[in-house]
Amino acid sequence: MKVLIVNGPNLNLLGTREPEIYGSTSMESCLEKLRSEFPSYELDYYQSNIEGEMINRLQEDDFDAVVINPGAYTHYSYAIADCLKNIRKPKIEVHISNIYKREEFRQKSVTAASTDAVLSGFGMDGYRLALLSLKK
């Protein structure tokens, strides 16, 4: 199974960006652990700070499932929500922090309704939990 993991803006800074919120694990380290734990999955990672580039990547349709952390786009990108709505494959939204314990504007996800499930507040382990759920 080929799983596309897509991260939105500023998530290329994981490990150094606000470690009190996002932890100190880099995305590279997380991906290394995921590839070790899920050797039967082909994990394709994509990160962009640009909304349109994320949509273009999602529309390539060369994957079996999507795990997406839209970052700040979670709260206002109807374009990403519409793109996700048109993908007829498993889609899981992941948030490292618990968005419901954050600022009020972060507590609303406009993209969540276009996914099959949402994981929020599990730290980097949310990516692993998303992949576990795809095994079913």
| Residues catalogued as catalytic | 22, 95
Spacing of C-alpha 89 from chain mean position: 15
Q: Is position 98 annotated in a ligand binding site?
A: no
User: In angstroms, rounded to a whole number, what is the distance separating the alpha carbons of residues 62 and 53?
Assistant: 15
Q: Is position 75 annotated in a ligand binding site?
A: yes
Q: Roughly what angle, to the nearest 10 degrees, separates helices 51-58 and 78-85?
A: 0
Helices (H) and strands (E) in the chain, counts: 5, 5
Centre a 10 Å sphere on the Cβ of residue 101 and count the other Cβ atoms it contains. 11
- Residue tagged 């079913």 (tokens): 136
In total, the chain counts a number of residues equal to 136
Q: Is position 133 annotated in a ligand binding site?
A: no
Q: Is position 82 annotated in a ligand binding site?
A: yes
Q: Is position 69 annotated in a ligand binding site?
A: yes
- Binding site, by residue number, is 69, 75, 82, 96-97, 106
- Output the known binding site for substrate: 69, 75, 82, 96-97, 106
